């Protein structure tokens, strides 16, 4: 069991103001796998003050010096990816093969991408008689979730460091252990004191204190839309810059000429990845009404082939949900789907026969779903797929866009030109065509209540910059 008794503030490990600890539960064994300090407002004050004191020095460093630090962190993350992957697997429940491939390897690659981007970035340019200068935004507060914990942290820390910002990180209490691994790396490479600070604790206390703090210039939050609304309210009191990456209820449209076997199987695998705990998960599968039975048959077969079980087994594809609370939330949604008239094709709210322990929900597929049903409108955050029949292409686009969210989407068609035409009409921040691969250099973020601002790529770096015009 990993026990961290101290917070990382002003470049050193520091005792928290309170002796209280947060217990981290392994969602497969249902037993503790770690403990971290439960920070207080006093700890937030120390961390923000450290970041404020460090800002002038760090922001004044040449971009090449900041790039060198980012590159060193990337290398250390790469060295420790097996260890970090194991840590995240134990606190999150993601199978070890995926935890190393995604949860630890991807953050290392994202950190390295910002070393490259910042190296080539145009920090100033001449426009007429003006010099346009891009400068660091200031002291940043980062509030991050548990589903892709280190990836979401690095998506903020990497561009902020490259831009010249200083920061205070508050990771999720469900999966905070990986954040301490990052702090260890930062201490090891000798980042100047106060540039990076880590305070764990309750969101309602530590998170809100960061959002209210008058010396915090920018807040970057990833999490639920409900929490994002609250952060927006708090930040507005001091007119802070805010980046929000929130929820989703994304649709995958199968046009009538799509490869149904490939597309439907892909949909089931994607909804079971990380047990469906992915904000950009394609949770609504839109199919031509005449071919719904065909899609259901393929989906049921694909769901039956998902290896569910012990996250430490490399052959496991899907592990448990992160907590008993999250499992119960998903079960309630499944019951609501049945009550509202959707047809349960496989899975369900009952505890699976196997495994005997862990916070599991079986891969669950509904057919005959209408877009007015709760399971089609609200983010479930579990392995639940809603198959929604549509009449024609225009109806499919209408259904896909009929959501308060706009984070992701997908289109499948034998004609790439046709798929692109539909993709351009979807009101979402990203769209995959025929299973297009994830690109860590492409901006990530959403429309509507999926948030605002972008992470990753050049656009992610620019979120942490202010623009100054100097007239000559």
Distance CA 303, CA 362 (A): 9
30 is catalytic: no
Identify which of 148, 91, 439 has the alpha carbon closest to the alpha carbon of residue 278.
Answer: 148
Please identify which of the residues 33, 211, 272, 279 carries the catalytic annotation. Answer: 279
**Would you state the structure tokens that stand for residue 142, as one six-digit string?**
């980062």
SS3 per-residue string spanning 73-120: HHHHHHHCHHHHHHHHHHHHCCCHHHHHHHHHHHHHHHHHHHHHHHHH
C-alpha separations of 343 from 250, 298, 338, 370 in Å: 20, 16, 7, 11
Give 58-63's long-range contacts (Cβ < 8 A, gap of 24+).
58/136, 58/164, 58/165, 58/166, 58/192, 58/195, 59/135, 59/136, 59/164, 59/165, 59/166, 60/164, 61/164, 63/118, 63/119, 63/121, 63/123, 63/162, 63/164
Largest CA distance in the chain: 73
Distance CA 274, CA 326 (A): 13
279 is catalytic: yes
DSSP H or E run through 367: strand 364-367
Question: Cα 312–318–322 angle (5° rounding)?
Answer: 80
429 phi and psi, to 5 degrees?
A: -75, -25
C-alpha separations of 469 from 58, 134, 194, 246, 464 in Å: 22, 9, 29, 32, 17
In sequence order, the 6+-apart residues with CB closer than 8 A to the CB of 399 are 251, 284, 286, 371, 388, 390
The β-bridge relationship of strands 31-37 and 21-26 is antiparallel
**Site of tokens 């979402």:** 428
Please identify which of the residues 91, 174, 245, 455 carries the catalytic annotation. Answer: 245
**Would you state the structure tokens that stand for residue 71, as one six-digit string?**
């590159």
Distance CA 373, CA 369 (A): 7
Q: Strand pairing partners for 25?
A: 32
Q: Do the Cβ atoms of 219 and 243 come closer than 8 Å?
A: yes
Active-site residue list = 245, 279
């Amino acid at each position: 069991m990993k026990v961290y008794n101290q917070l990382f503030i002003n470049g050193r490990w520091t005792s928290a103001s309170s002796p209280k600890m947060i217990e981290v539960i392994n969602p497969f064994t249902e037993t503790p796998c770690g403990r971290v300090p439960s920070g207080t407002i006093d700890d937030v004050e120390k961390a923000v003050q450290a970041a404020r004191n460090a800002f002038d020095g760090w922001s004044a460093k040449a971009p090449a010096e900041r790039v060198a630090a980012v590159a060193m962190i990337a290398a250390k993350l790469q060295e420790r990816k097996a260890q970090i992957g194991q840590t995240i697997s134990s606190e999150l429940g993601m199978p070890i093969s995926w935890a190393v491939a995604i949860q630890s390897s991807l953050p290392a690659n994202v950190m390295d991408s910002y070393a490259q981007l910042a190296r080539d970035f145009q920090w100033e340019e001449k426009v007429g008689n003006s010099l346009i200068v891009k400068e660091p935004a200031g002291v940043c507060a980062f509030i991050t979730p548990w589903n892709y914990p280190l990836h979401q942290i690095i998506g903020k820390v990497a561009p902020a460091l490259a831009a010249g910002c200083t920061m205070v990180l508050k990771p999720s209490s469900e999966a905070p252990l990986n954040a301490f691994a990052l702090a260890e790396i930062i201490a090891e490479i000798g980042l100047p004191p106060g540039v990076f600070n880590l305070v764990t604790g309750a969101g309602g206390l530590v998170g809100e204190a960061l959002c209210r703090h008058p010396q915090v210039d920018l807040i970057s939050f990833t999490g639920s839309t409900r929490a994002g609304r609250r952060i927006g309210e708090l930040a507005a009191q001091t007119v802070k810059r805010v980046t929000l990456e929130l929820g989703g209820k994304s649709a995958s449209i199968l046009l009538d000429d799509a490869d149904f076997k490939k597309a439907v199987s892909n949909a089931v695998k994607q909804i079971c990845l990380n047990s469906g705990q992915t904000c950009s998960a394609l949770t609504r599968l839109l199919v031509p009404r005449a071919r719904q039975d065909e899609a259901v048959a393929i989906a049921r077969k694909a769901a039956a082939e998902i290896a569910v079980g012990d996250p430490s087994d490399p052959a496991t594809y899907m592990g448990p949900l992160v907590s008993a609370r999250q499992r119960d939330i998903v079960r309630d949604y499944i019951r609501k789907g049945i009550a509202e008239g959707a047809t349960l094709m496989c899975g369900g709210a009952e505890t699976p026969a196997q495994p005997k322990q862990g916070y599991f929900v079986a891969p669950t597929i509904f057919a005959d779903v209408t877009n007015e049903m709760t399971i089609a409108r609200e983010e479930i955050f579990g392995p639940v797929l809603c198959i929604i029949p549509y009449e024609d292409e225009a109806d499919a686009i209408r259904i896909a866009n009929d959501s308060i969210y706009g984070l992701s989407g997908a289109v499948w068609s034998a004609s790439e030109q046709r798929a692109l035409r539909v993709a351009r009409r979807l009101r979402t921040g990203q769209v995959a065509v025929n299973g297009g691969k994830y690109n860590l250099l492409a901006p990530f973020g959403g429309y509507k209540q999926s948030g605002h601002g972008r992470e990753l790529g050049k656009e992610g770096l620019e979120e942490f910059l202010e623009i100054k015009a100097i007239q000559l």
